[in-house]
A and B are shown apart, each in its own frame.
Chain A
Amino acid sequence: EPEVTQTPSHQVTQMGQEVILRCVPISNHLYFYWYRQILGQKVEFLVSFYNNEISEKSEIFDDQFSVERPDGSNFTLKIRSTKLEDSAMYFCASSDTGGEPNTGELFFGEGSRLTVL
């Protein structure tokens, strides 16, 4: 069964360091997303990506964050200068439909746990 894969599964970094989280979406999917979940809190939307550009982003997704799809398979989230409050589980997701109405089925990866010290 096709799946979304994410690496690394866990990354520990020092405050102020740059971090890149990698995702390989399901191959025939066209829409890509990053969500994050701080421990014990809700899943929060960060950004959606379609046709090689950001289609929507949340208030959380400030200038410290960027996404790209460099090679047609990987989808990366970069945090330029990490802060303590960036510690969270970051989920990548993909879907084959966009717009509304939609099936609502986002396929999530298992997540990358980021710990900022």
Chain B
Amino acid sequence: RKEVEQDPGPFNVPEGATVAFNCTYSNSASQSFFWYRQDCRKEPKLLMSVYSSGNEDGRFTAQLNRASQYISLLIRDSKLSDSATYLCVVFFSGGYNKLIFGAGTRLAVHP
């Protein structure tokens, strides 16, 4: 099983759509989870952390299911500017901030 696995997409959606991304991770001892965003040929940037109780930041909602080792990101009311690759990132135990990145899910929002 890959350390962090994501559906690569691409997800092509119209403006205003709701889209959900999923991610699974292999290390059951992992404690910290994140979504990063990467624009084409740019560096990754933190979008949001993922908390056990689920958390929301504006149009973005992140959920964590520890039993299933599953993380999700929901984007509501998609904007053109949301077009990017969304990276599921997991902190693996035993390392100093050894963040392991998923391969990313590409989102393309069209008018």
Which residues of A line the B interface, CB within 8 A? 31, 33, 35, 41-45, 48, 50, 55-56, 89, 91, 95, 97-106, 108-111
| Residues B102 and A104 in contact, CB atoms below 8 Å apart | no
Q: A100-B31, A100-B32, A108-B43 are in contact. Are A31 and B97 (CB under 8 A)?
A: yes
| Residues A104 and B104 in contact, CB atoms below 8 Å apart | no
Report the minimum CB–CB distance from A95 to chain B (whole Å): 6
- Which residues from chain A contact B93 at a C-beta distance below 8 Å? 100
| Residues B98 and A45 in contact, CB atoms below 8 Å apart | yes
B1 is an interface residue with CB less than 8 A from chain A: no
Tell me which of A95, A100, A103 contacts B49 (CB under 8 A).
A103
How far does the alpha carbon of A56 sit from the alpha carbon of B93 in the complex, in Å? 12
| Residues B43 and A91 in contact, CB atoms below 8 Å apart | yes
Report the minimum CB–CB distance from A33 to chain B (whole Å): 7
Q: A101-B32, A104-B32 are in contact. Are A43 and B44 (CB under 8 A)?
A: yes
Write out, one digit per residue, whether chain B residues 70-85 have a CB within 8 A of any chain A CB (1) or not (0). 0000000000000000
| Residues B91 and A100 in contact, CB atoms below 8 Å apart | yes
Report the minimum CB–CB distance from B101 to chain A (whole Å): 4
Chain A to chain B: the 9 pairs with minimum beta-carbon distance, closest first: A108-B43, A42-B103, A43-B101, A55-B96, A104-B34, A56-B95, A105-B46, A98-B96, A48-B96
How far does the alpha carbon of A17 sit from the alpha carbon of B1 in the complex, in Å? 36
Q: A55-B95, A100-B31 are in contact. Are A45 and B100 (CB under 8 A)?
A: yes
How far does the alpha carbon of A79 sit from the alpha carbon of B93 in the complex, in Å? 28
| Residues A91 and B95 in contact, CB atoms below 8 Å apart | no
Tell me which of A48, A56, A103, A108 contacts B44 (CB under 8 A).
A108
